Amino acid sequence: MYQKLNSVIGISIILLLAACGAKGDKTGYEYAPQMYHSVPYEGLSQVMDQSAGQMISNREDGKGEFYNSNPHNPNEMTMRLPPEYTVKRNRYGLLPYNIPKDSLELAARQLKSPLSNDDAVLAEGKELYGRFCTHCHGTSGGGDGLVGQVYMGITPYNSVAVKDKAEGHIYHVITYGKGRMQAHASQLDPMERWKIVRYVQTLQQQ
């Protein structure tokens, strides 16, 4: 008797495990399906059948587990294109920087810093300068950093050629690089670049 019971239990376990397996169009059974399927609208998928996944659903709205369309938009779309000709601003409210690399003079004329000229901005600019610039330009901007001592020819900020360069010029060079200096746009966000600009302007006057 116990042997038959064990056989029934064994077969039941095998069938149960087989039922949980997914293959082809058969998704199998899932424990806690909400852990696998997102409740919010999925922007990159579009399931409009409200009964899809009904058998495993525990949604409060009574719809199938896999239904993910947005009933509040035309055609129940979950992802919509922005209005034509709109341009996304960054988290600081600034438009994308679109002055070409070879338009340094244009940048010098048109670019103005969005930051105030206060001690907090200057202190943050000094800290960022210490992390990203001193190895070449030196602590005082004399072009005598550890790298600058090996690769000679880095122009001091207070030299005749550089001391009067506009803030837009400095920002553009930090963004795109110039000569042997490489672009730093991938390392510094726009506001961080402007903070460094503010500090570099103090080194121009030394």
Helix/strand/coil (H, E, C) string of 117-167? CCHHHHHHHHHHHHHHCHHHHCCCCCCCCHHHHHCCCCCCCCCCCCCCCCH
Could you list the pLDDT tens digit for every one of the 206 residues in the chain? 666 777 778 787 777 766 666 566 666 666 666 666 666 666 677 888 999 988 888 777 888 888 888 888 878 888 777 788 888 888 888 888 999 999 999 999 999 999 988 999 999 999 999 999 999 999 999 999 999 899 888 989 999 989 999 999 999 999 999 999 999 999 999 999 999 999 999 999 98
Residue 9, both tokens:
């239990």
- The predicted model scores a pTM of 0.63
Residue 41, both tokens:
């609208």
Phi, psi of 181 (to 5 degrees): -75, 130
Q: Which domains can be identified in the chain, with CATH numbers?
A: 2-76 (no CATH), 104-204 (1.10.760.10)
Residue 18, both tokens:
């087989």
